[in-house]
Chains A and B, each alone.
Chain A
């Protein structure tokens, strides 16, 4: 019995690692250790890291479930041999899952290649308008500067643009014994208003000026939300968790969360991940009483 429990524990430990979700860069686990050290309006500074240019990708399904791969483990090699076989099987399944995601992303990029080609040389700093005074170049970056990594998305029909911005603040004391590398980390996801036929035609025709305006509006709203959270504006939100919907073309996408603000034509919801999801006010199907912050 004890032996059986031991085997179960070893297997479980082995498989916890093996069965984890493949790494995705458009994802952030929420961390907020700011406590009383929130920024004020004047000392909020940010910088774009990793890629100073627009990163535009096609929207794709995140289902990475691999097909079942029945396998007959050989018992002749003993327990150690069995573990090696399970490890190999696990690596195979993991590789299948990663490959499925990579193929899905590649396929999703194909229909929007003209947009990707237009945007790949656009500098992010040229999109931030009034926020330029808060922007700092990479050369002068320090631990007190907020890092932002924006990733833009378009659906294959080029009618819906969105942005996911990963926002983080590294820990100032690198010699900290704790594993946590961040003082703050979160994701802001903004769904743009659905484009009408005329606007869609502009994108298909490669209207760079129009596309730049759309991307700029999304990025500026993301920076504004990041600033609001990092200055403590959303820290005391107490609205009730509800289900919100967004029509994503193939049905209603569910968002569970609480409204923290309504600003710039968006309803800002803090979801179960603590991410900020901004939905165009016209798109939000559920409306609730809120003590949200109304401003732009």
Chain B
């Protein structure tokens, strides 16, 4: 009997863990223009640049050895991307977010957080609300709306099926743009950016990799267009 209770406890624990893992991801939230009708609203923009330099992001290499092989295959491209793709295009994206939001408010500026987002308190809300409690920033930053532009991958993307590449490396940029009403902690906007552009023609032309490099710039332009359309 004792043994049965223990098993039930383990199963209940597992169910709870898996339920949390399987939570519904936040869907896109189109910009709520009603929330920005007052041009006197103060908007603060936080820009989080990627931790790493431009590189090839590998997906689908499902084992350690597969990943090792995949990394070896993309080694030369990684070196090229690291050496030639700087953050200037990311900065132009960041400036674009500022200029687009400037059409919505007379007071838009970049702000710096004193506490990293991941260290903010959790917020228990439904879909449509941020998972961290941003409301505390209303006082500390003296803004009404916080916009977070987070770029977390740039360079190239290559899909693998274990050891085998499924396709060519593609120009890639991925990030997240969201805006939060600091009175309610609700999303005013939530937009995932995930651009993957197929190089036109042969990709494996070391050392300059012109096709992949061009497709990276295409990915950036597509991301710019997406941001313009969304704001």
Contact = CB atoms under 8 A, between A and B. Distances in A.
A97 B62 CA distance: 21
Contact of B166 (A26, A93, A255): A93
A255 B167 contact: no
A256 interface: yes
Interface stretch (B22-30, B130-138, B155-163): B155-163
B214 A256 contact: yes
A224 interface: no
B202 to A, nearest CB: 5
Interface string A258-296: 000000000000011110000000000000000000000
B167 A66 contact: yes
Contact of A254 (B72, B159, B217): B217
A177 interface: no
Contact of B60 (A9, A29, A68): A68
Interface in B120-172: 159, 161-168, 170
Contacts of A18: 164-165
A27 B72 contact: no
Interface string A87-118: 00110010001000000000000000000000
Q: Is the interface of B mostly helix, strand, loop or mixed?
A: mixed
A271 B213 CA distance: 11
Interface in B187-231: 198-205, 208, 210-211, 213-214, 217-218, 221-222, 225
Q: Chain B CB within 10 Å — which of A7, A19, A245 has the most?
A: A19
A73 B225 contact: no
Interface residues of B, number: 35
B74 to A, nearest CB: 10
Interface residues of A, number: 44
A252 B214 contact: no
Contacts of B62: 70
Given A12-B72, A68-B60, 5 more contacts: A21-B203, A62-B199, A243-B217, A271-B210, A272-B213
27 contacts: A7-B65, A8-B65, A11-B163, A12-B72, A15-B69, A15-B163, A16-B73, A18-B164, A19-B164, A24-B201, A62-B198, A63-B167, A64-B168, A65-B170, A68-B60, A68-B159, A68-B161, A70-B62, A71-B162, A86-B163, A86-B164, A245-B221, A251-B225, A252-B221, A272-B213, A272-B214, A273-B214
